[in-house]
């Protein structure tokens, strides 16, 4: 193969696509991708994809977590693997021989990592989908002081998130999409409410929220209408349901962090939801 042909097959854009596919898969699925997953996401054929992955491994951008004869090749980000290795258990006696300066630095790093994780959770409200989006919503609601916030991860018998406000139980379905929010989750949400009502819960003690991260691949200030026309009509019909965008929730959290709003006022603001335009 000539150098010119190789550049055509494996452009910088192809490398970026593979790296982005690995990142998106890990943060959206909470699993490490196989080569087949990367091929499906990028549309790059198997042989070129394998070679690009091997090159990225050589450049220390990707790390092969698992492979074997007849077994799938599983990859993750190189820096992510280094972070895992840094958590390796050290012998207890090392403290006697180590550097006191490092202990102080390690404590600072640990605290900074906790702070960074909190901000990462909030920022996911602007770009995430699926389980990461649900986790971010639950995290933000809990941080704002809503009661009994539960993320029902991988539980088909409950909505995505439940929480309480002034004695009222809220059922929430989340949707992260590159389009406007559809009616499907709203219909599903109504089903959860009917289930609660059939179990004897008073209607006055229940409400539902559709939380949508619409056009999540677009800068928030440039996004279109958060709801499809059908979704709007469904929300108008089901009077126990409200909605808010996760960008709205992010903005609410940010205003609290900047001391522009109290958590109490923000809980009221979120509970009232957004108006259907």
The predicted-structure confidence for 37-92, as pLDDT tens digits, reads as follows 999 999 999 999 999 999 999 999 999 999 988 899 999 999 888 877 766 677 77
pLDDT of residue 9: 57
Q: Which of 82, 105, 136 is the last residue of a domain?
A: 82
Torsions phi, psi for 236 (to 5 deg):
-70, -35
pLDDT of residue 3: 42
Distance (Å, rounded) from C-alpha 14 to C-alpha 49? 9
136 and 250 co-located in one domain? yes
128 and 263 co-located in one domain? yes
For 122-154, give the DSSP string: HHHHHH--HHHHHHHHHHHHHHTT-EEEEE-TT
Q: Which of 63, 82, 101 is the last residue of a domain?
A: 82
Check whether 106 has a pLDDT greater than 90: no
pLDDT of residue 109: 80
Measured between alpha carbons, how far apart are the two ends of the chain, in Å? 58
180 and 72 co-located in one domain? no
- Give the whole-number percent of the chain exceeding pLDDT 90: 69
- Residue 114 falls within a domain, yes or no? no
Q: Considering its fold, how many domains does the chain have in total?
A: 2
């Amino acid at each position: 193969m000539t150098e010119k042909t190789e550049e055509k097959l494996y452009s910088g854009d192809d490398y970026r696509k593979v790296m982005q596919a690995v990142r998106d898969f890990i943060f959206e699925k909470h699993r490490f991708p196989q080569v087949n997953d990367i091929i499906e996401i990028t549309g790059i054929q198997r042989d070129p994809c394998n070679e690009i992955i091997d090159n990225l491994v050589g450049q220390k951008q990707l790390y092969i977590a698992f492979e074997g004869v007849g077994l799938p090749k599983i990859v993750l980000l190189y820096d992510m693997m280094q972070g895992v290795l840094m958590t390796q258990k050290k012998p207890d006696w090392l403290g006697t021989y180590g550097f006191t300066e490092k202990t102080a630095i390690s404590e600072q790093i640990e605290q900074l990592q906790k702070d960074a994780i909190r901000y990462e959770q909030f920022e996911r409200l602007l770009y995430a989908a699926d389980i990461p989006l649900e986790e971010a919503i639950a995290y933000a609601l809990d941080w704002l002081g809503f009661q009994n916030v539960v993320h029902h991860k991988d539980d088909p018998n409950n909505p995505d998130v439940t929480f309480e406000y002034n004695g009222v139980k809220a059922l929430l379905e989340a949707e992260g999409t590159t389009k406007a929010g559809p009616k499907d989750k709203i219909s599903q949400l109504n089903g959860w409410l009917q289930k609660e009502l059939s179990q004897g819960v008073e209607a006055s003690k229940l409400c539902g929220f559709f939380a949508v991260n619409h056009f999540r691949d677009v800068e928030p200030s440039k996004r279109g209408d958060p709801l499809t026309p059908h979704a709007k009509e469904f929300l108008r019909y089901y009077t126990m349901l409200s909605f808010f965008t996760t960008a709205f929730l992010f903005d609410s959290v940010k205003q609290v962090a900047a001391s522009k709003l109290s958590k109490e006022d923000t809980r009221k603001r979120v509970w009232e939801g957004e108006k259907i335009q």
